Structure 1
Amino acid sequence: MQTKVNQVANEEKVVKKNKIESYDISRSDETMHLAIDLAKFIKENRLYQNIQGKEYVNVEGWQYAGSRLGILPIVEELTSMTDSTEIKYLAKVNLLNLRTEQVVGAGFAICSNKEQGRKYYQEYAIASMAQTRAIGKAYRNILAWIIRAAGYEPTPAEEMDYQGNVQEVKAEQPRAAAPAKTMKAVPVEAEAVPVPVASTPATTEEEAPAVKYATAKQKEEIIRLLNNPVITRQEKTKMLLNINKLDEERAKQSIQKLKKVIEDREHEQSAAA
């Protein structure tokens, strides 16, 4: 009899937990609760940038919003558009609904070393930023109204390209003693990375290692393991926020670690029963 009572109590706890942690995007009352939670989480963890007096959420904040709805970004494509004069990448990201296992959104983004402030970026950094922007864009296409309800601008901070900093630099230029020379030397970039312009292409090609990001199959395996009941919500959220930053080796290690944790916890539960 006691065993039956405990079983019913445990089932009630599971139902209650799912109700709290799972939001239905079609229900305004539930998404408003999510917006309140987002506002607090983003503010406490400073997952936003203040640009020209307005607050824009970083991609990590958008990923947190998506994870609360069971929506995960998967990098579908990363295409090099690099030539002899420019390092350039195009990324495509799909949004996967973990409950239905269906794609519910997508986003495209490009990053180039010809952009303001990225002249000396290495190839892996340009490729990474393209993916980051595509993740933010994909979430923006379906969750912008929730971010707005949380009190933030409905555009990812990475899309804004830190225009506020660019304008501050321009405002300081007239103070220079020799404006013409200052414009030629581009002092902001020279101070940040004192590398001769002529040597930049060779340095990028010779020293920048090719980063092999986790494969789609590895990410799917990680997602499958994270959905195991013994994995806590905090552990799942942390892993989902960083899944697109994993390279193949780290993804392999994460899969092995998750399998070990699941095996140990299931064994403990069996022993306790």
Structure 2
Amino acid sequence: DEAEDAPPPSIEEVRAKSEAMIENARLEQAARDASAARVAAFRAAREQSTKAKSNTPAPDLNAAKEKSEEEEFKISPEVMEKLDAFERAVAAAKQKSEAQKIAEEKKSALLAKQAAEADRKEEDEARALLIARQAEEMVKQKAEVEAQRIAEEEARALFIARQAEEMIKQKAEAEPQRIAEEEARALSQQEQRKQGSQSIENEFVDEFPSQPTKYYLGNAVPMSASTRKVLADPNSSVEETYEVLRKEMRDFQQQRRMKDPTSYLYKAQDYHST
């Protein structure tokens, strides 16, 4: 946790890291140079031994062979000391370089983790801020739409109320006129029925010489109950009254013709009876 909360490296730490890397590279190069010098020393000793063999007579082959082998691998103490020092320096440099490399890797991993964590936090904050702004904008738009809807509904309700008020006012103004027109229409219909009944009665009076009464046609022929009911009803129309009286007249004429020996109805009746 302490490593995760560690601050980023300073300029001095970065400079020290660079110098350590340069020193490690120099030590590695020195180790490579020491190895190359050792190989060169072995090659020089071998060449010197080969030259000595070619220039010196060999009385004893076995002794010369052993001597040449000793001289071939014989190295001066100064060279050995330098080689040992170089080997120790190379080992120390390698160990130090390995430790520094591990430390640098850990530090780099820690820095990368910290950077990734910082980036993630920044992204989370940016995302949260964006979501908050979007939510605020949606709430604002919804409030504007709701306010507009309420205003439209209020305007519509006011318009409907005004229309209803105007209709009520017009109806109240037209009601007396309508009542007067209905009364005049009723009086006119009543007068028309009265005049129609009088004209129909006059028509029957002209057709039948005998004076008709309220319930009798000419020649004392009684009217049917349905005809009397229509004539007695003040609400019956002129057309209905006329049609009933016409039917009554046709029935009367048919009955009269059936009693007349000269009519075809009388003859037809007599024919059917025989």
> TM bucket by the smaller chain?
under 0.3
TM (normalized to structure 2)?
A: 0.19
Tell me which structure has the larger Cα radius of gyration: 2
TM (normalized to structure 1)?
A: 0.19
Larger proportion of strand: 1
Larger proportion of helix: 2
